[in-house]
Amino acid sequence: MKKLICNIFLILTLMTALLFPNAAFAEGQGNIDNGGGGMGNSSKENYWTGDDGVRVTVVRVNDKKPVTVPIDFTNKKPSSIRVHFGKVCKSTYLDSRSLTLNTSIYTYKIPDKTMPKIIRTKSRQADIKEIKKYFCSEYMVTTISNLTGFNYEILTNGDYKILLEPIAYMTFMGINMAMTATEAALYDQQLSGELRRRMVSLSNKNLPLAMFLEVSDLGYPAWSGSTTTPASDEDIISSLGIGIVRFSETEEPPEVNDSSYTYRVNTEVITAVTVRGGKSDPDNPVTVQFNIGGVFYSVGNVFYPDGESQLAWVKWRTPSVPQTMKINVSVSGNGNSDSGVIIARIVDLSRNDPPNPLADDTNDSFSPASIPARPEKTRADWSIWRPWWQENWVDEGLWNSYFWTDSEGKEHTGSTWIENWVDRGWWEFNLDRYYATFSSDMSISCDSKNPTANGRTMKSGYGINEAVTASVSSNQSTAVTYPQNAVSYFPEFQYKTYWRLLEKMQGGSIAKFEFQKNPYSTYKNRTHFTPIWMPDGSYIVNTWVLDSWTPVGMLSMNLTDSLMIRGSLWDDWHSAIRS
């Protein structure tokens, strides 16, 4: 069963906090909004009756883009909404979407189970526990899945999050309107501050402070500003009026996800694992250790925010002998640990060259085969969390009392404030994105010792040459390996059974490969002999270029090139009788 984790921070009024301002409370109770619930210069033209709602949007984690049309939930039918701004979420507005007035019929959904109150005022409380419980419930997530048509299992697999935005239904300048906190701030900017002047306690305080994040998520920062005074339009747009429901299997100590790999012998490779669970920052770092063939590789400072994950990898060279290896991986941090095992299969592609072709070879049953769909990946993307410290200096000084007596003998008391500034900041995270792109090309040609070749046309029984180039480009070059292998397959063997491992003629970011020297060639050429029985037609060679490794797997390409066969080597032989 997946655990639904709410990253929502709502403002509550707690009487105990007013009596004991230094008391410590559970999650969601540490910040107090004791501002008034009035509507500023409220009048019969500008007021709020207390009706509220929540806009819900499903957002994809990897690019922070909305994947569903937002849905507005409210407990009762909003009365005669004449103006709204359509169904647009905060992410879309921040992606340069402009605010547009909309006078079409306002649509909404009234849930079967009543929502808790969302917006707080002096006279009404907003219970954070009830709000979290409601929006993290299976009922609500299932309702969102059903209404949006977004598969429940996909929604909760950890690749998506639910964006929540409080909505207020108000009367402004005599017009009934619906708007989120972000829309209110954008609208106020359009009106040069008129909304704030008339309804400041709703538009710039109670509505935006109804929801904000405890920790940064989806690119939005945690709110560390005042919770008792109206916020600026800019702060509302960037940081307020937002809650997030995220999904993960569990909220546990660091854990490692292991897997399996297939490598070639004597090849520089990258082995990676995904670490998740809890969080890791410079004050509580996570370390990953790989034991590969008795050699220990340690990767320290693996950082990630709460609820996220991070790749950790090591670059190493495989042994020269085929084998199956067990790579033991351990992860430790915050006084906890986990371990896993990666199975690495090391194979040798160099021992399956085609046999020596003979002049009397035949194959009457030959039929052409399709080119196999070998694995191909030409781009890789990965990311690294980079922590940075958000300063928050607080004066935790104290009053120093003193006594003195004046010239008339009267005693006096006084006090002096002794400053003690302490940084009570926290770690924030930026996500640095990296990529690698892979390209390759091949060409085959008639062997230079072929006496009757004509351009790209040849007779069967003669040899061909091949040239392959491959390159990789990355904005994190230390996290990739350059192309290292190329393997060619031939139609006479149905692109299987036998193959040729090409020799790397040039290494580096632009690698070059050719056939290895053929021991059956009179001139020891880098050649492959076509069978003398090969039918006329297109002779297609398939080459798989591989072993450019990244933290998220191997880059490779599946290439083909062809020559035309017409006639056979026997056509170049003749006999003569002397008289």
Instruction: Evaluate if residue 338 carries a pLDDT over 80.
Output: yes
Question: Mean pLDDT across the stretch 130-146?
Answer: 91
Check pLDDT > 70 for residue 253: no
Query: What does the mean pLDDT of the chain come to?
Result: 86
Quick: pLDDT tens for 364-405. Answer: 889 999 999 998 999 999 999 999 999 988 888 888 877 888
pLDDT of residue 260: 82
| Strand, coil or helix: 423 | strand
Q: How far, rounded to the nearest angstrom, does the alpha carbon of residue 175 sit from its chain's CA centroid? A: 43
Tokens representing 512 are 């070059």
Answer with the residue of higher pLDDT: 288 or 426. Answer: 288
pLDDT at 257: 60
- Write out pLDDT tens, residues 385-396: 999 999 988 888
In this prediction, what percent of the chain has a pLDDT beyond 90?
Answer: 63
Question: What's the rounded Cα separation, in Å, for the pair 530 and 535?
Answer: 10
Nearest alpha carbon to residue 217 among 305, 299, 297: 305
Q: Which residues of 31-60 are buried (b: 16+ CB within 10 A; e: fewer)?
A: bbbebebbbbebeeebebeebbbbbbbbbe
* Single-letter code of the amino acid located at 41: N
User: What tens digit of pLDDT does each residue of 197-233 get?
Assistant: 999 999 999 999 999 987 778 888 888 888 878 999 9
440 neighbors 400 (Cβ within 8 angstroms)? no
Residue 536's CB: how many other CB atoms inside 10 A? 12
The label of the residue with tokens 């709703």 reads 202
Report d(CA 235, CA 225) in Å as an integer.
9
Q: What is the pLDDT of residue 278?
A: 79
Residue 35 has pLDDT above 50, yes or no: no
Neighbours of 297 (CB within 10 A): 16
Q: Which domains does the chain have, with CATH numbers?
A: 3-248 (no CATH), 255-347 (2.60.40.10), 384-431 (no CATH), 432-572 (2.60.40.10)
**Is residue 40 scored above 70 in pLDDT?**
no
Region 463-483 average pLDDT: 97
* 78-115 pLDDT, tens digit each: 878 999 999 999 999 988 788 999 999 999 999 999 99
544-572 burial, b at 16+ Cβ within 10 Å, e below that, comes to bbbbbbbbbebbbbbbebebebeebbeee
Q: How far is CA 553 from CA 100, 313, 376, 439, in A?
A: 45, 11, 11, 16
Confidence of residue 424 (pLDDT cuts 50, 70, 90): confident
pLDDT of 226 reads: 84
* Stated pTM of the model: 0.56
